[in-house]
Amino acid sequence: MKIFATCMECQKELGLPSFEPIIADYYEEPVAIIECSRGHKSAFMLQSQKFEILLESAANALLEGYTLEAASTLSSAYERFFEFAINVLCSKQNVNEEELKRTFKYVSKQSERQIGAFLFLYLFEFGETYEINKKLIEFRNKVVHKGYIPTPKEVESFGDRVYLEIFAITQKLKEKCNEDIQKVITASLLERSQKLPTDMPRATSTGTMFFSLSQAEQKSSFTEAMLSYKVAQKMFLEAVPYMN
C-alpha cells in the first residue's frame, strides 16, 4: 500500500512545511518508515482502521482492472468492518479492552462468528435487527472459494452493496457512539506507536482517502467515493513534480 507523506522533522527544523513529496510503502502494520533527502528517518503512522485500508486497496485494484482482487478485498473490508463495529459497540458498553481482545480471539478465525457477535451488539444498542444481505455472502463465496473472476460491472455492484452497508452502519455509530469511534481509533494509534523504536520520531496521518472516518462526512455511495478518489489521486500525482 502507498501513502503520500512529507517530512515533519524538516518542518520542525525549518519552521515551515517541507514540500518534498515522499510516496511511502506500508503493509500490514499501517506505519510507513520514511527518509527525506536531508537524512531524517521517521515513522508515518496512519490512523486508518483495517477496513478503510482494505476499501482503498480494493479501489486501487479495481482501477487497475484486477477484478478478482478487488472483489475479494472488498469482502475482507466488509468482514473487518464488523470487527471495527464490534470494538465500537463494546467500547460503548465500557467493556475492558484487554478482555475484549481475549474474547475476540475465540471468534477471530471465523467471520460468521464475528457477524453473529455484531448482530447481537447491534440489537442491544439500536433495539432492532440488522438485516444481513445474503446476496453479498453468496457473491463473496463465489469469488473467494471458487476463484470466480468477476467483470468490472459485477465488482462495482458488489462494491456498491458492501459500501452501502458500511456507510449506513457508520452513520448510525456516528450518531450514537461517536466518542467510542474516537476511542477505538486512539487505542489503535497507541498500539501502533508502542511497536515503534522509542527514539524514532513519528507523525500521524489521517490515512486513507477512499473512505476516511477522519472526515466529517463520508461519500454516500461506492460510485461517488470512486469518482472522488480518482480526482484526488490525479491531483496528487500532478502536484508531485511541482513540489519536487
Catalog residues that contact Zn ion under the rule CB under 5 A: 7, 9-10, 36, 38, 40
Give Cβ neighbours of residue 84 (< 8 Å, ≥ 6 apart): 49, 50, 51, 184
CB nearer to Zn ion: give 7 or 43.
7
Residue of 50, 47, 59, 114 lying closest to 82 (CA atoms): 114
Percent helix / strand / coil, the chain, rounded to 5 = 60, 10, 30
**Cell 518534498 -> residue:** 20
Q: Which triple of cell numbers denotes residue 170?
A: 457508520
- State the nearest-atom distance from the C-beta of 190 to Zn ion, in Å: 25
Complex with Zn ion: residue 10 or 226, whichever CB lies closer: 10
Shortest distance, position 24 Cβ to Zn ion, whole Å = 13
| Contact residues for 200 (Cβ-Cβ < 8 A; gap 6+) | 33, 41, 42, 43
Angle at 159 between CA 156 and CA 162, to 5 degrees: 155
Rounded distance between C-alpha atoms, residue 118 and residue 105, angstroms: 15
Q: Which amino acid is at 167?
A: F
Smallest gap from Cβ 197 to Zn ion, in A, equals: 17
CA 231-243-241 angle, 5° bins: 70
Q: Which residue has the cell 453479498?
A: 136
Q: How far is the CB of 4 from Zn ion (least distance, A)?
A: 15
Distance, in Å, from the CA atom of 73 to the CA atom of 224, rounded to the nearest integer, reads 19
Residue 40 or 183 having the CB closest to Zn ion: 40
Shorter beta-carbon distance to Zn ion: residue 115 or 196: 196
Closest to Zn ion by CB, 9 vs 125, is 9
Q: Which CB atom, from 7 or from 143, has the smaller least distance to Zn ion? A: 7
CB of 18 to Zn ion, least distance (A): 6
Q: Cell triple for residue 152? A: 468490472
- In whole angstroms, how close is the CB of 21 to Zn ion at the nearest point? 12
